[in-house]
Structure 1
Amino acid sequence: MFAQLKSKFLELFLNPVFLACVFSWFCAQFIKTIINLCLRRIHSVGELFECLIWKTGGFPSSHTSLVTSLCTCIGFRNGVGSDIFMLSACLMMITIRDALGVRRANGIHAVKLNEIGKELNDKQVLDYKPIKEVLGHNPMEVVFGAILGFFIGLAFSTL
């Protein structure tokens, strides 16, 4: 039983589609980290690892890169007329729409709420603790993430 479980586990982690998605996400995070290092936005080793592994927002969009890579791989493996490709294309559209719209709007709202909260704090009307401001993505960040994901998915599908 353990050998069979180990076999299935290895099958998952050696799947080219899975590897393309992980590599695409990691490449986007790596590029984002290099940009933040060059712009001197990273001040500690902890911030470096957070940016490399977990940070959202910024250039390029790792979410978009991952889902575009997934969609590209599935398109090559199963054909663009397959049901699974249609599912991945819909997932890609939802993710990109979320990155450009909902998450961006939430980030703008967080900035405004923090401004209002600071004013109320300064006037001693309210004890306000700032909320995290994650601005989502602008169109250029999403486009570059999609291009990165497409080419990584293409490479994993053809090599």
Structure 2
Amino acid sequence: MINRAITTALVGIGAAQFLKVPLHYVETGIWDWKKLYGSGDMPSSHSSAVTSLTTYVALKKGIPSIDFGISSIFSIIVMYDAMGIRWQAGEIAIAVNDINEQMEKLAHEHPGFYHRKREKELKEMLGHLPIEVAGGAILGVAIGALSYLTDKKSKKHS
């Protein structure tokens, strides 16, 4: 038997990742299929996953349940992290990549100045803007509710 709550969260991730491709196209006119597995951008798949799980748990077990309480706190932490720590890490990566580029230019312009170029730039798109987290949350609520409504056992509180 498949765990409906886990499946719901995984659908939340998949739907958000899939939606990043056409939303990016609408914004830029470019089909970027790397968005299917990349982090960052609209909507947040982290937010969609935890919100779909929390919504499903709320409808299945009830808001007073311990399960809903645990899921809610987990969701708040994940969404806060996506907007806060992960966003700031992305901003730091942008700065480090810029410094590396400037050091590379300096090394070419000044003989005797040694700089070893990084083999790979740091990944800059790590976190989310609040609107991207909100977009993922809205998608997650819809997916969680749809999962509950299509669950054949949704009438039972087990």
TM-score w.r.t. length of structure 2: 0.82
The CA deviation at 1:42 is 4.2
Of the three residues 114, 125, 128, the one matched with 2:117 is: 128
Residue number in structure 1 paired with 2:146: 155
Superposed CA offset, 1:114-159 (max 9, x none) = 1111111111142232212124100110101000100110111122
Residue number in structure 2 paired with 1:25: 13
Residue number in structure 2 paired with 1:35: 23
The correspondence of residues 86-101 of structure 1 with structure 2, limited to 5 A, is: 86-101=69-84
The structure with more radius of gyration: 2
SS at match of 1:123: helix
CA RMSD of aligned residues (A): 1.5
Superposed CA offset, 1:90-119 (max 9, x none) = 110110011100000000000001111111
Residue number in structure 1 paired with 2:130: 139
Provide the C-alpha distance between the structure 2 equivalents of 1:104 and 1:41, rounded to a whole number of angstroms.
24
Residue number in structure 1 paired with 2:155: none
The CA deviation at 1:37 is 3.5
Counterpart AA for 1:126: H
Residue number in structure 2 paired with 1:75: 58
Paired residues, number:
141
Residue number in structure 1 paired with 2:98: 115
Gaps in structure 1 of 5+ consecutive residues: 1-10
SS at match of 1:81: coil
Counterpart AA for 1:25: I
Runs (4 or more) in structure 1 with deviation over 3 Å come to: 40-43
| 8 Å CA contact retained: 2:47, 2:136 | yes
Of the three residues 16, 28, 31, the one matched with 2:4 is: 16
TM-score w.r.t. length of structure 1: 0.82
Superposed CA offset, 1:26-84 (max 9, x none) = 111111011233424446xxxx2x322x2110000011000000001111111111111
Question: Aligned residues: percent identity?
Answer: 32
